Structure formats: C-alpha cells, structure tokens
C-alpha cells in the first residue's frame, strides 16, 4: 500500500470504504484536469460526503502514509492542486450542500464543494450575496477559496475571503475534525486557528464546511469603461465614485493599454474610441436604486469629474449586454495563454498609491532583462492587486524565468506589498516564497507544519516547508 | 537567576542591558496596576524601545528560562496581563511612536504601545480614524488590542481588530523578529501567521508594531436613547438606520433595563421618561453632512418607524454634552464593581437574531441557580456581543461560580455564538475555555504552542495550553 500504483490504492479504498464515492484511473482519464494538466495525475479521487467520512479517510491514509491533496474546483493558478501517483486526491465535490441560510443575520453555512456561482444564484432571490466575487465564480468552490484566501473584485470594500469566514470545519492531518462553526463576528476565545486553515493551501487541513458573511445584493447596476492617463487618476476617480451618495461602487478594475488592446481585439471589441495618451482603461460598476438611476448618476459623476480626473474618453454601458461585454474584456483573459502558452504570470499587490511607480519601475527592470519582452498588466486597482503576464519570443529557460521574477518582485516588499496577492504559493511560487518572504515567518510556518503534520502527508511539497526533511 | 527575587532580576537586567528602560520593585510599588491588582506582581518591567531591543531581551530571558508577560495598557478584563514574581513584564510603553500615516491609502504604521485614543487624536485633524473604537480607548494600546483581538462598538460594520491589521511585527519566543509589515489587503503568500499573534494573548509573541486600516472620520454626529420592548425590535430599528441614505450608523449599543436604570441612577441621569414595557434601551449614534442634518434625519427616521419599531419612548441629544451623557451611561459601568466588587462578569456573543431567546433562557437558568441573583446585561447589540454581570448577596464560592458560568454559557455554542467575544481567555476564563471550546481546537493550539514556545515562557498559564506539562 505504499506503492504508487493508483489501481492498488483504488482497490484498497473500495474494500475499506464500500460506501465512499470514489473515482479511479479509468474514471479520471477522461476528466478535465482544470487549470493545471497534472491536477489529476494521482489517478485516484475520493469524494467524501461529510466531515466524519473525510476524517475516516484521513485516518486510513495516515495509517498507510499516503499523501493527500485537497481539491475543489481545480481553478487554482499556482499549482496548489497538482497531484502525483501515490497520492490520494480529496475532493470536496460531494460536500455540496448549501446547508442553512440565516437571512436575518446575513450568514450562510455552506459545504466546501459549493461553487461561488451556485451560492450566488441560490442567494440572489433572497436579495443576498456573498461579500466576495471573482472571475472563476463558475468553478471555484468555497473550500478552495478558503484554502487560498481568495480575493477578487470586492476586496477593496469587503476585504478578502479571510474576512468573510465566521466559522469553519475541517479535517486535520491527524484525522480529527476541527469544528468551529460560530456565526458571530466577535470571537476572542483562544487562538483563532481557523485562520491557519484559511490561506493554508491544504497544508493544515481539508476544509469541509464554512460559515460566511453575506450582504444585500444590489441588482440595479451600471458599468463604464473610462480611459485615463495613469493609475493615480483612476484611483482618484474611483475614490470620487465611492464618496458619492446614491450609488455604491461595486468594482474598479484597471487594464493597462497593452492588455486592453489585445483583449479588445480578441473579443472583437472596438477600441477606436480611445485616444492617444490613454495609458489605462478603468472598468467601473456601480449600483443604485434602479439601473437607470445608477447609469444616470454614473454619467453625471463622470461628467463632473471629466477634466479634473483627466478622463481621455469614456463609454457608459447602455444595456446589460454591453455591460457584459465590458466585463468580458477584463475577466476572459484566456487569450494571453492561447497566444503565449508559457507566459510567466504573476499576481502581486502594492499599496494602491504606489501602482504607477511600481509599474514604471517594473517595466524598466523588465526592459533590462530583455527589451523584447512585453507585459500584460491588469487587475483589481482599488486594492492594488496586479496580474502580470510576460510575453516573449521563444522559450523561457530557468535563468530567464528567475530574471523575470526578479523584475516583477523586486521592491514589492519594500513598497509594503506582497509577492502573492490572491493566488497562493502552490508549487509554482515556491521559489518566490523562499526568496521574497520573511525568513522568520518561514521558520515559524515550518515549525507549525511539523507540529500538525509531522509526516508531511497533507499537500506535500506545496508552499513549501523547507526546514523539514521531505518538504522541498 | 532562576530565583524569583525581582531585585536580583532587576540587577541582572541592568548589568546586561545598561541602556534599557527598566522599572524594578521600588519603581512599580506605587504604580497603578490597571484592571487587575496582580498585573505588576512580577515586580520588574522592561520597556524596550524597538523590536531588536525586545528581541535581545527575549534571547536573555530564554537563556535564563525567565517567563515573560506582555503588557500594554493593562486594561484587559480576563487577567491576561497578570504577572508573578520570577517573571519579567515586557511592556510596550516605549514603543509609542505613530510612525507613518499614509493618508492617501488610509493606513497607519504604529508602535504597539500607542493608545487607541492617542492614535484617534493624531488622525482626526487629517479626517481619518481607526476602524475600531471601544470604551477603554484612553488606556488600551494597539498592541494589547491586537493580542486580545479587541472588538468594541464598530465591529458590526467594520469587523474586529483582526480585520483592521494589514501588517504586524513581533518578537517570537525564540527571540527572532517576525516582520510582516505589508500595507495591502490582498495577501495569499503562505500561511498568514500574523493571525496567530492576533488574539494570541501574548502566548506566541510580543507585538511591537502594526499596520492598521483607517477610514474617514465623520465628525458630524447625532445620538439618541430609544426605549424598546425587545432586542429584536432594536435590531430592526438599527437595520432601518443602516439602510437610510444620508446618515451612517456609528454605534448601536443595547442596555437591558436593570443595567440602564442603575447606570442612570449612578450617573444622576433622569430615567423617568421611560414607560413600563420598556425592556431595553438602545443607544444609537449616526453621522451625517452636518450635526444638525444628522440630528434632523435621525428624528425623522425615528418618527417614521416609531409605531412599526415599537418605540416606547425616545430622547435625541440636543447638544454634544447631552450626547456624552448618553454614552456615559453605556461606557462608564464601574458602578457595577463599586456596588458588587466580586460580581462574576461575562462577555459572550450570539447571532444578533438570537439575543432575546438567549437572554430569556439565560435568565431562566440563572433563576434556577438562585432566584436572588440579578443580572446586568448590556453590550454591542448589532454584533450580538453581550456583557453580563451577576449580582448577588454574600460571597460566591467556587461551586456557585461554576453554576453561574453554566447558566451564562449553556447553549451559546449551539446558537452559533462564542463564550468569549472580545475580552479573551487570560487567567480568568481558563475553566470556560476548557469546558466550552472545541477539544480538537485545543489540541491543535497545544501542539502549536509547544512548537513555538517549547519551554512555555511566553505568558505561561494563560489561555491555557493543557496538553503540556506546565500549562495548567
């Protein structure tokens, strides 16, 4: 049973857990692996339907020293869900119940395998919505969003996933069930260990349930695309929209010109209305009493600030279809990887006031690496979160990859930012973690990992925990 | 040097750290101990002026196996700052610089020893304020508020201290300096270990610096006292005020009748305007464009909801002085302990919608314990946080204390609440921690404590970490 043969593991699990929902190599061979082609490489996936069933599984895998990899929607962008033969995938697919909606207190208790979109759709008829939203809503699960501490488009107003979680249930590496399902914001009752599981990328537990805060869903919305000379201009304009009464800012996404132009081209969107001097395009969405009122107020505010904010051009959506086409430009960025399959991609955050300075310095550093590199830059402006993809001609070897990483990450910490904003570390940012994070924090993380998972069986090799023998 | 003689410890520290700010038994004998008379019992207090100086001290105390107790403003209500001879108090008193105000990004980098009020006063001329406020603002320090994950009166809107901390610096039990001073909301860069220090009550580190989120300070305010038949009525009214445009709800504190009446009597406040059928009194504060506009809007909303909300009587403050007298009724609760010096006191939270049910059930349980017990009940209604003090004739022995605890805590977890909402565990809630918290969470906490502080030198005996030999 310590062999790496998935068929043997499948048989052993079927014998030990006759009622368990299980997929073996033949079931998984045709299944889409998600964001990373190696996500399903373990070949065996268990789909426990409850925390006790997951706990029994973990007791079994622990006894046989079988490593486990947690998976939700497999939309992770850092390879945190990658699995290898000999490992068992623990999927949240059957933990898919929206268990209790407490509409009066605006909380929901939800299984880890529920997708964000399924939760949104269930809540909207009640006039409620989770306080977090992101482009991968259709496949990303609540458990995965907890494990990566997801961010998305509402973080500037509501904070990240960590700030939405009131309660959490998870199976720990020792097979016990951590159960802290409070539904209150005020808890100071000993170390709040759910915050180790949030953003823990499966290293400390397999999340089975969560209690999330909700907010009223404002259906009546208006969107606009606005050309601006800099991020600072965009930030001021977003601030003005936030300060307005009668409308609420629901999103403020910034696309630097190269990204915007190529996204527009790929989506057949006419960008001819943008004049020269437009360094970036701001996508804003606001809500109001009615969609018409929101649109009119947005038009009025834009007109008021047109000159002061340095607006070069603007387009207010006149229909829901047009608004969707705006968001498509920002959210459907697959064209990058179709045109540049191996584009090194990054996810950093800096204080919003430093965005222009960071982008200028980063471009200068990238130019030093190779003047032929291009950079797509876009992201969640109001919280300083940038996504960056580097284009290049020809293959990027390890040395060039490191040089590009340095161009992106240098100075981020000194600016008060983070080299990983919302995607986590997984496998793909291990080098960055070891190079750009606080070494004291890493030693502390290693000690905690060793204390909670001494055999390193939970999502091994991810993050990584380097002080430990098999943690590399 | 393993002796418990404070004079010997003082001499040794003076010899080892000639430049250190240090207070020995003779300096401390006349000093006010703060909330608990035994806070200064160690007799020796070191006041490092920087994280490196604190780290050097911890290396010294660790080498000599001297336990350390962190202290800020010594306003903690759970005995987390109590010290004993043979221990060294690590005070944040000289970590008192407001280091950098980033007004554009609404963040501040601040030393752990700065009081909340000093920070508020420094920020207000800039139109900014921390997103948290509480009655002990004049003495509570940022470091103490981090260590207890303080809550206060704005948590219903902004969350608790944990949600305000963007970055943190601390000295760990091994003498290293944890330095994670990001100023961004989006961080998913490996386990976010500052959340172990937040609410860690000094068990995992000595907090030296923090980066906090800020918000605009709205100076123009209006307050009202409103008599209501139940917490549910109060909750609906607070919800209506939150939904109003043009005003912002800044506080919603609820006082059950026995507390309100005795507080009014003690503060010479006339409560004759409250008719029978008034089960509780809601104190609300709102802000608006101007104080007059806020007051007028508040009066209008109250008039609109008067019958629907079941308001029995109301008083809108006509001056700042009158508003202060309202807040005094809620915040200056010392009269409880003057009249009942040993009143068992509690700090629980339940989902706000369960407040009436909880209070009724609790009162029934308390009546079973002894019909002569009275209960002061008051707190931060909108987040379900109740403070409860039990009055009694004669001494409360250990058995009676346990029976009262059971009356208060029974059912809290099942309702989705917490037996400790914002005061922490310290020494005084150890029994509750061992009785009412998730045993799996406690084992996990014990493992982490052992990994990070194997000699149990940081704030020993608090919380406590029971799986460990000296943790009781």
pLDDT averaged over consecutive 10-residue blocks of chain A (472 residues)? Answer: 81 97 95 94 98 98 97 95 97 98 94 98 97 96 98 95 98 98 96 98 98 95 97 95 90 97 96 93 96 96 95 96 97 92 94 96 96 95 95 86 96 96 95 94 97 96 72 37
Give the whole-angstrom CA distance, residue B462 versus residue B472: 8
Q: How many CA atoms does the CB half-sphere of A239 hold within 13 Å?
A: 15
Instruction: Inspect the interface and report whether the beta carbons of A184 and B384 lie closer than 8 Å.
Output: yes
Q: Locate tokens 């911890």: which residue?
A: B58
Q: How many CA atoms does the CB half-sphere of B418 hold within 13 Å?
A: 27
Question: Is B103 an 8 Å CB contact of chain A?
Answer: no
Contact criterion met (CB below 8 Å) for B54 and B17: no
How many residues would you count in chain A? 472
Q: Do the bridges between strand B88-91 and strand B68-71 make them parallel or antiparallel, or are there none, so unpaired?
A: parallel
Contact criterion met (CB below 8 Å) for A215 and A157: no
End-to-end CA distance of chain A: 23
B408-447 residues touching A, CB cutoff 8 A? 413, 416-425, 433, 437-438, 440-445, 447
Going by C-alpha positions, the residue among A381, A384, A417, A385 that lies closest to residue A237 is A381
Which residues from chain B sit within 8 angstroms of residue A443, using beta carbons?
A: 176
Q: Is the fold of A221-331 the same as that of A338-422?
A: yes
Residue B324 burial (CB count, 10 A): 12
Helix (H, G, I), strand (E, B) or coil at A398: helix
- pLDDT, one tens digit per residue, over B37-60 is 999 999 999 999 999 999 999 999
Give the whole-angstrom CA distance, residue A208 versus residue A205: 9
How many residues would you count in chain B? 472
Give the whole-angstrom CA distance, residue A133 versus residue A112: 16
Q: Which fold has domain A338-422?
A: Alpha-Beta Plaits (3.30.70)
B219-258 residues touching A, CB cutoff 8 A? 245-246
Main-chain dihedrals φ then ψ at residue B332, nearest 5 degrees: -95, 85
Residue B303 in this model has a pLDDT that exceeds 80: yes
* Per-residue b or e along B114-136, where b marks 16 or more CB atoms closer than 10 Å to that residue's CB: bbbebbbeebeeeebbbbbbbeb
* pLDDT at position A472: 36
Compare all CA atoms of chain A with the CA of B156 and give the residue at the minimum distance.
Answer: A185
Residue B267 burial (CB count, 10 A): 12
Compare all CA atoms of chain A with the CA of B211 and give the residue at the minimum distance.
Answer: A416
Q: Which fold has domain A221-331?
A: Alpha-Beta Plaits (3.30.70)
CA distance B199 to chain A (A): 6
Residue A449 burial (CB count, 10 A): 25
Helix (H, G, I), strand (E, B) or coil at A279: coil
Contact criterion met (CB below 8 Å) for B8 and B85: no
Ramachandran assignment for B8, one of left (phi > 0), alpha (psi -120 to 50 degrees), beta (any other): alpha
pLDDT band at B393 (very low <50, low <70, confident <90, very high): confident
Question: Is B289 an 8 Å CB contact of chain A?
Answer: no
pLDDT band at B244 (very low <50, low <70, confident <90, very high): confident
Compare all CA atoms of chain A with the CA of B215 and give the residue at the minimum distance.
Answer: A157
- In this structure, whether the domain defined by B336-425 belongs to CATH 3.30.70.2740 is answered with yes
SS3 string of chain B? Answer: CCCCCHHHHHHHHHHHCCCCCEECHHHHCCCCCCCCCCCCCCCCEECCCCHHHHHHHHHHHHHCCCCEEEECCCCCCCCCCCCCCCCEEEECCCCCCEEEEECCCCEEEEECCCEHHHHHHHHHHHCEEECCCCCCCCCCEHHHHHHCCCCCCCHHHHCCHHHCEEEEEEECCCCCEEEECCCCCCCCCCCCCHHHHCCCCCCCCEEEEEEEEEEECCCCEEEEEEEECCHHHHHHHHHHHHHCCCCEEEEEEEEEHHHHHHHHHHCCCCCCCCCCCCCEEEEEEEECCCHHHHHHHHHHHHHHHCCCCCCCEEEECCCHHHHHHHHHHHHCCCHHHHHCCCCCEEEEECCHHHHHHHHHHHHHHHHHHCCCCEEEEEEEHHHCEEEEEEECCCCCCHHHHHHHHHHHHCCCCCCCCECECCCCCCCCCHHHHHHHCCHHHHHHHHHHHHHHCCCCCECCCCCCCCCCCCCC
Compare all CA atoms of chain B with the CA of A205 and give the residue at the minimum distance.
Answer: B444
Give the whole-angstrom CA distance, residue A318 versus residue A268: 18
Instruction: Inspect the interface and report whether the beta carbons of B440 and A383 lie closer than 8 Å.
Output: no
Instruction: Inspect the interface and report whether the beta carbons of B185 and A160 lie closer than 8 Å.
Output: yes
* Per-residue b or e along A201-240, where b marks 16 or more CB atoms closer than 10 Å to that residue's CB: bbbbbbbbbbbbbbbeebeebbbbbbbbbbbbbbbbbbbb
Q: Which CATH number fits domain B6-91: 1.10.1060.10, 3.10.20.600, 3.30.43.10, 3.40.50.10540?
A: 3.30.43.10
Of A151, A188, A352, the CB nearest to B422: A188
Give the whole-angstrom CA distance, residue B131 versus residue B116: 11
Question: Is A348 an 8 Å CB contact of chain B?
Answer: no
Compare all CA atoms of chain A with the CA of B145 and give the residue at the minimum distance.
Answer: A188
CA distance A415 to chain B (A): 8
Which residues from chain A sit within 8 angstroms of residue B189, using beta carbons?
A: 418-421, 424-425, 433, 437
* Domain ranges (residues) in chain B: 6-91, 98-216, 221-331, 336-425
pLDDT band at B203 (very low <50, low <70, confident <90, very high): very high
Centroid of chain to Cα A363: 25
ipTM of the predicted structure? 0.95
* pLDDT at position A245: 80
Q: Hey, of A185, A347, A419, which one would you mutate to test binding to chain B, going by the most B CBs within 10 A of its CB? A: A185
Mean per-residue pLDDT over chain B, rounded: 95
- In this structure, whether the domain defined by A98-216 belongs to CATH 3.30.420.40 is answered with no
Instruction: Inspect the interface and report whether the beta carbons of A184 and B351 lie closer than 8 Å.
Output: yes
Which residues from chain B sit within 8 angstroms of residue A385, using beta carbons?
A: 184, 186
Contact criterion met (CB below 8 Å) for B145 and B161: yes
Give the whole-angstrom CA distance, residue A32 versus residue A10: 20
Contact criterion met (CB below 8 Å) for B251 and B242: no
Instruction: Inspect the interface and report whether the beta carbons of A182 and B441 lie closer than 8 Å.
Output: no
Residue B470 in this model has a pLDDT that exceeds 70: no
Residue B472 in this model has a pLDDT that exceeds 50: no
Number of A/B CB contacts below 8 angstroms equals: 260
| For residues B439-446, average pLDDT | 96
A152-191 residues touching B, CB cutoff 8 A? 155-156, 159-160, 162-163, 167, 172, 176-191
Going by C-alpha positions, the residue among B327, B369, B370, B377 that lies closest to residue B347 is B377
Question: Percent of chain B, pLDDT > 70?
Answer: 98
Give the whole-angstrom CA distance, residue B121 versus residue A316: 42
Give the whole-angstrom CA distance, residue A470 versus residue A448: 15
């Amino acid at each position: 049973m310590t062999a790496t043969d998935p068929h043997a593991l499948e048989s052993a699990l079927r014998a030990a857990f006759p009622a368990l929902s299980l997929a073996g190599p033949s079931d998984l061979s045709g299944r889409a692996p998600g964001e990373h082609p190696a996500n399903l490489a373990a070949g065996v996936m268990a789909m426990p339907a409850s925390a006790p069933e997951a706990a029994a599984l973990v007791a079994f895998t622990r006894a046989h020293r079988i490593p486990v990899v947690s998976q939700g929607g497999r939309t992770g962008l850092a390879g945190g869900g990658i699995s290898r033969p000999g490992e068992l995938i623990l999927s949240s697919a059957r933990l898919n119940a929206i268990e209790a909606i407490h509409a009066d207190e605006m909380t929901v208790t939800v299984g880890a395998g529920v997708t964000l979109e399924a939760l949104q759709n269930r809540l909207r008829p009640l006039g409620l919505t989770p306080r977090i939203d992101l482009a991968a809503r259709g496949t990303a699960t609540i458990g995965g969003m907890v494990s990566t501490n997801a961010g998305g488009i509402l973080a500037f107003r509501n904070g990240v996933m960590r700030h939405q979680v009131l309660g959490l249930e998870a199976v720990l590496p020792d097979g016990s069930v951590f159960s802290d399902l409070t539904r209150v914001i005020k808890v100071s009752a000993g170390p709040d260990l759910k915050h180790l599981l949030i953003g823990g990328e499966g290293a400390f537990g397999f999340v089975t349930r969560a209690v999330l805060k909700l907010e009223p869903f404002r259906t009546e919305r208006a969107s606009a695309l606005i050309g601006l000379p800099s991020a600072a201009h965009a930030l001021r304009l977003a601030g003005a929209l936030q300060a307005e009464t009668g409308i609420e800012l629901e999103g403020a996404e910034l696309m630097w010109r190269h990204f915007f132009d190529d996204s527009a081209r790929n989506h057949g969107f006419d960008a001819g209305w943008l004049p020269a001097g437009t360094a970036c395009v701001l996508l804003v969405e606001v809500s109001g009493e009615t969609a018409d009122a929101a649109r009119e107020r947005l038009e009025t505010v834009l007109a008021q600030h047109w000159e002061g904010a340095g607006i070069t051009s603007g387009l207010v959506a006149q229909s829901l279809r047009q608004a969707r086409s705006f968001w498509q430009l920002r959210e459907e960025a697959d064209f990058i990887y179709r045109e540049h399959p191996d584009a090194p991609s990054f996810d950093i955050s800096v204080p919003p006031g430093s965005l222009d300075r960071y982008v200028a310095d980063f471009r200068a550093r990238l130019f030093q690496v190779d003047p032929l590199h291009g950079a797509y830059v876009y992201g969640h402006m109001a919280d300083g979160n940038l996504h960056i993809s580097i284009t290049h001609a020809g293959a990027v070897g390890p040395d060039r990859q490191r040089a590009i990483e340095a161009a992106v990450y240098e100075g981020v910490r000194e600016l008060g930012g983070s080299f990983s904003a919302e995607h986590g570390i997984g496998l793909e940012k291990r080098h960055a973690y070891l190079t750009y994070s606080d070494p004291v924090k890493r030693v502390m993380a290693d000690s905690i990992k060793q204390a909670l998972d001494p055999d390193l069986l939970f999502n091994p090799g991810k993050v990584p925990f380097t002080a430990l023998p098999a943690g590399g």
